[in-house]
Homo-oligomer: A and B are copies of this chain.
Amino acid sequence: MNDNLDALFKPKSVALIGASVKELSIGNVIIKNLLHYQFRGPVYPINPKVDEIRGLKAYPSIQDVPGEVDLAHIVIPPPFVPEEVENCGKKGVKAIIVNTAGFKEMGAKGQALENDFLARARKYGIRVVGPNCQGIINSDPAFNAYCNFTFTYPNPGHISVVAQSGGVGAVIMQAFYDMGIGQRMYASNGNGSDVSITEIISYYGKDEETRAIVLYAESLENPQEFIAIAKQVTARKPILAITAGRTDKGAEASRSHIGGLAGNISMELIYQKAGILTFSSQEDLCHAAVALSSQPIPRGNKVGIITNTGGPSVIAIDELVSCGLEIPPLSKKAAKTLKGTMLESASVRNPLDVVATAGPGHFRSALEVMMKEPQFDSIYINFVTPPFVDCENVAREIAAAAKAGNKPIVCNYMTDKQKWGGTSEILKQGEIPCFDFAETAARALHALVRYNQIRSAKVGSVKKFKDVNRAAVRSILHYALSHEREVLTATEVYGILEAYRIPVAPWKVVSGVQEVVSAATEIGFPVVIKADSESIIHKSDVGGVAVNIQDAQEAAAVAETMKRNLGGDIKFFVQQFIPKGRELIIGAKAVKGVGHIIMFGLGGIFTEVLKDVAFTISPVSDTEAIRMINSVKAAPLINGYRGEKGINRAKTIEIIRRISMLGTDFPMIRELDLNPLFATGNEICVVDARIIL
């Protein structure tokens, strides 16, 4: 990974291969954008058939350009792209944006063309954005680089955007613009053949002026690298992402949009592991970015509310409380002070209703007192602009309080922004994040709190257990793979679990009926007897499973019957019968490019009917294991309920971490299910398990 993308984001000169005189063409629009946005360097249209485009001298080929070219757009049809990349190489171009579509996303022929031009770019050390993309924007006044065919001209600001889909990127850019919010850099990298989202995130992470990063990705080439880099970035500044393709139908549209390696099912988990704030709504994401790029991060989730209108504070509190934020009461001292300074009809508590007739002085006192209350981590303001109040001076008080204090403020600013243009401008200059609705302001505040939770979360540790027997597992897997078997036998499964010290009930594999009785006697009744064969997969369907066998006589009878029905050469898997305890499920599933996704839940109906399970990506740290256990809705059952003792959490966490390690050590394990484990008393024990390669 190389995150020096200066040639791309800070070009000193730009050429456009495929420049056109036709106004409704990409080859013309990009030149228009560069000129309109006042790009600081020369722009070179490349077109062998014309002399001039939009007043600029056109050149027959990139090699005819007199000066150096940092960045070249290529907007010509796919078959001609490789040759032009070659020409760029000869010219010494440092970076290329291939806007043209029709490569990997269109199948094998396109993939071959993409591979071709990419090999040539690599030969010359040229970085490529795209193909099938819009390009980049850098609003830094030193560059004013609008190397993109979109139509929104962002003002300088502190939010940088990277989007795999230019459509979504453009929507988000327009949304910030409509809110009057500046932006720093923008990139739509389409197929991502060379410059990756991870590199761009890393680049934004190092850019001092970028305070918040907005991300839209439908897939990632190398999720583990992305997680590692994004984790470093989120420690310094927030990354906000849309979780796309979270439903099956959405994932289907996504997969055919841009071919990627990772399944969409894991995007949310990748983001979670990287400490990225996720959103299902683009608008919520934009609002959160506005708050995060302008406000200090609160130390906690406790909110003080100032309002000059009743209903919106009801709605704000509904949303804040739904988001898990708290509204602690005013201190007695603060209440006393405020009773002296507020209007008589004011409601002095939290929320503090200063009432609609409150003027600048009332707001000043309210802000001064609330900002100082140590039990408030942030301040939420409902500010409607009554026609009978000096609203501009109210806005000045809000801006002054924000500047003086170190607590974040969000504002539900309810007004006609044209009639109250002066007031709006004061709030904007004061960098007060303003939102049209109580609930959107509340959600923006929630994002600030979430980011604090991410930043201050305990860093977990991934344990490498020393007591495991890798060789044993390797040998079992090797044997199964060499026999082209995907489903492991019970003997193999339990062998692997024991090698990784995952607690299983005592078991033995034996051959004859008499040996079954001996094994059962040795293990102790009651026992389970299973026919264990490489060829029988669904044992219970063919009478190959008998549970709760009480004595030697019953064991012999069962074994005889199985032998008769399933063939004389079967083996028997004899295991202690564990009476039903609290049922758990722990699983692992390999996802290409990601590693294993680890699952935890209470088994049975909790998993199958209520889908009450938690996931994370391996390797699983202790804090991640704890989070999984705590995040299922049925967690109270795990912790003990109505006098029933809770399960042994330490052992549960250890099993999760051992399974995670097993997956990391043996990536060929496609699926692993411990289902169920029974937790009884202080013990946890695997009762049934399945491994698929």
Which A residues lie at the B interface, using CB under 8 A?
Answer: 24-26, 28-29, 32, 101-102, 106, 149-152, 163-171, 174-175, 177-178, 216, 218, 242, 244-250, 252-254, 256-258, 280-283, 309-315, 317-322, 327, 345, 347, 351, 356, 382, 384-390, 414-416, 419, 436-440, 605, 608-610, 633-634, 636-637, 641-642
What is the CA–CA distance of A163 and B321 in the complex, to the nearest angstrom? 23
Q: Is the CB of A314 within 8 A of B250?
A: yes
Q: Is the CB of A384 within 8 A of B245?
A: no
Tell me the complex Cα distance, A171–B385, Å. Answer: 11
Residue of B nearest to A387 (CB): B29
If A151-B387, A151-B415, A282-B439 are given as contacts, then 18 extra A-B residue pairs at C-beta distance below 8 Å, sorted by A number, are A24-B387, A24-B388, A24-B390, A164-B311, A165-B312, A165-B314, A168-B312, A171-B312, A171-B384, A171-B437, A178-B436, A216-B311, A244-B314, A244-B318, A257-B310, A283-B436, A283-B437, A608-B642
Query: Are A26's CB and B388's CB within 8 A?
Result: yes
| A25 to B437 Cα, complex, angstroms | 26
**Cross-chain contact B318 with A245 (CB below 8 angstroms):** yes
B439, A280: Cβ atoms closer than 8 Å: yes
Give every chain B residue within 8 A of A310 (Cβ-Cβ). Answer: 165, 167, 253, 257-258
Task: Kindly list chain B residues whose C-beta atoms are within 8 Å of the C-beta of A170.
Answer: 309, 384, 414
Contacting pair B282 A175 (CB below 8 A)? no
With contact pairs A253-B351, A310-B167, A327-B249 given, residues A440 and B283 touching in the complex (Cβ less than 8 Å): yes
Q: How far is the CB of A477 from chain B (nearest CB, A)?
A: 32
CA distance A419 to B102 in the complex (A): 29
B634 touches A311 (CB 8 A): no
Q: List residues of chain B with CB within 8 A of the CB of A437.
A: 171, 175, 281-283
Say yes or no: B250 contacts A24, CB within 8 Å: no
Given the contacts A171-B436, A312-B171, A387-B24, A250 and B317 also touching, CB distance less than 8 Å = yes
Contacting residues, chain B, for A168 (C-beta < 8 A): 311-312, 315
Are A247 and B321 in touch, CB under 8 angstroms?
Answer: yes
Q: Kindly identify which residue among B253, B320, B642 contacts A314, using a CB–CB cutoff of 8 Å.
A: B253
Please give, as numbers and ranges, the residues of chain B lying within 8 Å of A149 by CB-CB distance: 386-388
Of A164, A254, A436, A437, which is in contact with the most chain B CB atoms at under 10 Å from its CB? A437
Write out the residue numbers on chain B whose beta carbons fall within 8 Å of the beta carbon of A253.
310, 313-314, 317, 351
Distance between A257 CB and nearest chain B CB, rounded to angstroms? 4
Select the residue from A169, A245, A327, A388 with max chain B CB neighbours within 10 A: A388
Whether B317 lies near A281 (C-beta < 8 A) is no
Knowing A171-B437, A314-B250, A319-B280, say if A309 contacts B165 (CB, 8 Å): yes
In the assembly, what is the distance between CA of A29 and CA of B246, in Å? 50
**B contact residues around A634 at 8 Å (CB):** 605, 609-610
Known: A244-B311, A283-B440, A310-B165. A414 touches B218 (CB 8 A): no
Measured CB to CB, the closest approach of chain B to A394, in angstroms, equals 13
Q: Are B163 and A415 in contact (CB under 8 A)?
A: no
A253-B317, A437-B282, A610-B634 given as contacts; is B174 within 8 A of A415 (CB)? yes
A96 to B126, CA, bound (A): 76
Which residues of B sit under 8 angstroms from A385, Cβ to Cβ? Answer: 151
8 A-B pairs with the lowest CB-CB distances in the bound complex, closest first: A165-B311, A167-B309, A168-B311, A250-B318, A247-B321, A257-B310, A250-B317, A24-B388
Contact A414 B283 (CB under 8 A): no
Bound-complex Cα distance A480 to B175 (A): 65
Are B167 and A419 touching (Cβ within 8 A)?
Answer: no
Selected contact of A384 from candidates B167, B281, B390, B440, CB within 8 Å = B167
- A178 / chain B contacts, CB cutoff of 8 Å: 436
Contacts of A608 in B (CB 8 A): 641-642
A168 to B414, CA, bound (A): 9
A446 to chain B, nearest CB (A): 13
- Tell me which residues across on chain B come within 8 A of A218, comparing CB atoms: 311, 314
Contact indicator A347/B151 (Cβ below 8 Å): no
**Cα separation A169 to B608 with both chains bound (whole Å):** 45
Chain B residues in 8 Å Cβ range of A29: 387-388
**Cβ A605 vs Cβ B416 within 8 A:** no
Query: With a CB–CB cut-off of 8 A, which chain B residues contact A387?
Result: 24, 29, 32, 149-151
- Contact partner of A414 (CB less than 8 A), chosen from B174, B242, B258, B386, is B174
Q: Given the complex of chains A and B, what is the CA–CA distance between A106 and B171 in angstroms?
A: 47
| Chain B residues positioned under 8 Å from A246 (CB to CB) | 318, 322
Given contacts A436-B171, A437-B281, contact A317 B249 (CB under 8 A): yes
Task: Tell me how far the C-beta of A342 lies from the nearest C-beta in chain B, rounded to whole angstroms.
Answer: 14
A634 to B281, CA, bound (A): 28
Contact of A312 among B150, B167, B319 (CB under 8 A): B167
Which of A178, A258, A311, A608 counts the most B-chain CB atoms under 10 A from its CB? A311
Instruction: Verify A609–B314 contact, CB threshold 8 A.
Output: no
Q: Which residue of B lies closest to A443 (CB)?
A: B281
How far is B171's CA from A248's CA once the two chains are assembled, in angstroms? 37
Question: Which residues of chain B are near A169, meaning CB under 8 Å?
Answer: 311
Q: Chain B residues near A436 (CB, 8 Å)? A: 171, 174-175, 178, 283
Residue of B nearest to A177 (CB): B416
CB-CB under 8 A from A414, the residues of chain B are: 167, 170-171, 174
- A572 CB to nearest B CB, Å: 27
Give CA–CA (A315, B250) in the complex, Å.
7
Interfacial chain B residues near A415, Cβ < 8 Å: 151, 174
Chain B residues lying within 8 Å of A609, measured Cβ to Cβ, are: 633-634, 636-637, 641
- A245 — which chain B residues lie within 8 A by C-beta? 314, 318
Cβ–Cβ < 8 Å partners of A280 in chain B: 318-319, 322, 439
What's the nearest-Cβ distance from chain B to residue A122, in Å? 27
Partner of A419, one of B25, B151, B633, B636: B151
